[in-house]
Amino acid sequence: MPGSPGKHTPYYELVDAQGQAGCPICRLVYKAADRYLDSLLYEAVLDPDVRAKLKESRGFCSRHTEMLRRKPGRALGVALIYRDIIRAVSETVGRGRYKGESSPVSRFLDKILGKTRGRQRPGSVLAGERVCPACAIARKAERNNIELLLAHLQDEQLHDAYAKGEGLCLPHFVRALEAVEDEESFGLLVGPQVARYRLMIRDLDEFIRKRDHRFRHEKYGEERDVWLRVLNAVVGGAGMGLSAESGGRGSPEFMDEPP
């Protein structure tokens, strides 16, 4: 593609991700957030300014909190981060006073005037003032990698890897479609994806057939993991076998006899 960016480390990471299990964008987004959390745990121990910003976001969303919880050596960093957060929450709640139900007239005036007349809902007081910082990193990685994929779709090395890989999950495929700017790139993006969908349909038909009691004696072939592949194809993300964290078809969850 004319004007496409040069081939640097992110390009080769994107090529490599095509050959791994699951959606390559999901994998790279996960890795970006994972690297961020690694560095942040180290910085949080040393830098009170880092902890101050995390206090404003009330730490992390539930997904990235779970990623944080599973990290080795995270205990001190987590303790320092969340001590500041709990202190802030405790002080805010401690200053609170009960306010009973407002009168019908007061509620009517609030609605007309578009204000709370000095009353603030607990959620607006206690919730974080910033978005989850790991989510911000993940969104940036998602945007950058989709742009990189589209910029190099006409590159033989990347497109060959894309065509042979497991493809994009539906959410990332939709985002890529929305960003395509020319007909040739559209065809290069869509063609392999449609071929993968058709292959999954064939494998699903075969998987379902072999679950029939009449054919249960037949051994599973390529279709044995299609029930996991289709989850990632439609939903994406991690935690479904062919995921950013796991590793693919060599994982213990892939058994000769599917559940």
Q: Model's pTM, two decimal places?
A: 0.78
d(CA 21, CA 189) in angstroms, rounded, equals: 18
- For 136-193, the three-class secondary structure string (H helix, E strand, C coil) is HHHHHHHHHHHHHHHHCCCCHHHHHHHHHCCCCCHHHHHHHHHHCCCHHHHHHHHHHH
Q: What is the mean pLDDT of residues 125-145?
A: 88
Q: What pLDDT sits at residue 143?
A: 97
The per-residue pLDDT of the chain, averaged, comes to 83
Each residue's pLDDT tens digit, 185-216: 999 999 999 999 999 999 999 999 998 788 88
The tokens describing 146, both together, are: 């989709």
Name the pLDDT band for 246 (thresholds 50, 70, 90): very low
d(CA 209, CA 122) in angstroms, rounded, equals: 54
Question: Please, is 258 exposed, middle or buried when counting C-beta atoms within 10 Å of its C-beta (0-12, 13-18, 19+)?
Answer: middle
DSSP state letter for 236 = -
Phi/psi at 211 (5° precision): -80, -15
Pick the residue with more confidence: 52 or 110? 52
Each residue's pLDDT tens digit, 90-105: 888 877 676 666 666 5
Extents of the domains making up the chain = 9-97+140-234
Q: What pLDDT sits at residue 13?
A: 96
Please answer whether residues 123 and 91 qualify as being in contact, where contact means their C-beta atoms are separated by less than 8 angstroms: no
d(CA 21, CA 249) in angstroms, rounded, equals: 7
How much helix, strand and coil, in percent to the nearest 5, is found in the chain? 65, 0, 35
Each residue's pLDDT tens digit, 7-29: 889 999 999 999 888 899 999 99
Name the residue among 256, 189, 184, 185 with its Cα closest to residue 225.
256
Please answer whether residues 148 and 5 qualify as being in contact, where contact means their C-beta atoms are separated by less than 8 angstroms: yes
Neighbours of 198 (CB within 10 A): 10
> If DSSP codes are grouped into helix, strand and coil, which group holds residue 252?
coil
Each residue's pLDDT tens digit, 67-85: 999 998 889 999 999 999 9
Pick the residue with more confidence: 212 or 122? 212
Please answer whether residues 209 and 196 qualify as being in contact, where contact means their C-beta atoms are separated by less than 8 angstroms: no
Pick the residue with more confidence: 51 or 44? 51
**pLDDT higher than 60, residue 242:** no
Phi/psi at 69 (5° precision): -60, -35
Pick the residue with more confidence: 231 or 212? 231
Q: What is the mean pLDDT of residues 118-127?
A: 59
Neighbours of 153 (CB within 10 A): 21
Contacts of 49 (CB under 8 A, 6+ apart): none
